[in-house]
Amino acid sequence: MSTTPNRQALVVGASRGLGLVLADELSRRGWHVIATTRRNSGELQAHAEARKGLLEVESLEMTSSGQLAALRERLELRLEGSRLDLLFVNAAIDRGDLPIGEVPTEMFTEVMVTNALSPLRVLEALRGLVAPGGTVAVMSSEQGSISRNTEDGYELYKASKAALNQLMRSYTTRHADDGHTKLLIDPGHNRTQLGGPDAPLSPKESIPAVVDVLEAQAGAPGLQFLDLHGETVPW
């Protein structure tokens, strides 16, 4: 990741919650940020207006291959030959706490496509826009750690994050020589629509620490699964 003042980032999934605060925190630190949203987000647009050109908004339904291809074309024009220093994919849905035997097939497919398949499709489609030495990162969760899965509940969500981690491992193996830093980030349990109102952290507490990790890991080789303190999360 570049240490120049002209660092550029793309944050996919920034309409609310962690992604919104991530895009805003990067721009607050002087990054030029392009942030995507599935639908019009008044809050994201308000942040963009406040950042006076450092934060721009793009549209993307991440599960649509057509929209993803169109976004790449727009980004190629927008970047005008420059490259991204950071590509960060933030996406997750949760469809409740059903035991896996009660999960409808349609629900299983929806969660797996959104949480595991689509983030990797984004990386594959857009990785060519990332500069040599840049970073590709995905928002994961401690819930995806198999070794730490010692409590009941949220089986489908946990499985989707474990699948995401495994797919990211495969991605790293295939692109081992591309020079990109590759990160899976566990931001902790946050008070978001996904994390619920009783979570111990707020995004405004956790995301600055996450950005510290992203900046500190710039140029690191291989794939790491790290928490917001930069500590390794066990697979």
DSSP, residue by residue, 83-127: -EEEEEE----------GGG--HHHHHHHHIIIIIHHHHHHHHHG
Going by the DSSP 8-state scheme, the letter that residue 129 receives in this structure is G
Residue 4 has pLDDT above 80, yes or no: no
Global pTM reads 0.94
2 belongs to a structural domain: no
Q: Is the pLDDT reported for residue 2 higher than 60? A: no
- pLDDT tier for residue 3 given thresholds of 50, 70 and 90: very low
Asked whether residue 89 is domain-assigned, the answer is yes
235 belongs to a structural domain: no
Q: Are 218 and 135 in contact (CB under 8 A)?
A: yes
CATH number of domain containing 15: 3.40.50.720
Task: Indicate the range of 4-18, 126-140, 213-227 predicted with least confidence.
Answer: 4-18
The pair phi, psi for residue 24, each rounded to 5°, is -70, -40
Q: What is the DSSP string of 138-202?
A: EE--GGG-STT--S-S-HHHHHHHHHHHHHHHHHHHHTTTS--EEEEEE--SBSSTTT-TT-SB-
12 vs 195 pLDDT, higher one: 12
- Asked whether 181 and 1 are in contact (CB, 8 A), the reply is yes
- Does the residue 234 lie in any domain? no
Q: Longest C-alpha distance within the chain, in Å?
A: 51
Distant-in-sequence, close-in-space partners of 51: CB < 8 Å, separation ≥ 6: 24, 27, 28, 33
* Residue 126 in this model has a pLDDT that exceeds 70: yes
Contact call for residues 149 and 189 (beta carbons, < 8 A) = no
Mean pLDDT over all residues of the chain?
93
CA count, 13 A, side-chain hemisphere, 45: 6
Establish if 116 belongs to a structural domain: yes
Q: What percent of the chain has pLDDT over 90?
A: 81
pLDDT tens, residue by residue, 145-189: 999 999 999 999 999 999 999 999 999 999 999 999 999 999 988
Domain count, the chain: 1
pLDDT at 1: 45
pLDDT for position 5: 59
Phi, psi for 223 (deg, rounded to 5) = -110, 135
User: Where residue 96 falls among pLDDT bands split at 50, 70, 90?
Assistant: confident
Q: Is 160 inside a domain boundary?
A: yes
pLDDT at position 199: 75
pLDDT at 42 over 80: yes
As a whole number, mean pLDDT of residues 30-48 equals 90
Q: Is the dihedral of CA 146, 168, 225, 229 positive or negative?
A: negative
- With cut-offs at 50, 70 and 90, classify the pLDDT of residue 41: low
Q: Is residue 232, in this structure, part of any structural domain at all?
A: no
For residue 36, being part of any structural domain is answered with yes
Host domain of residue 198? 8-227
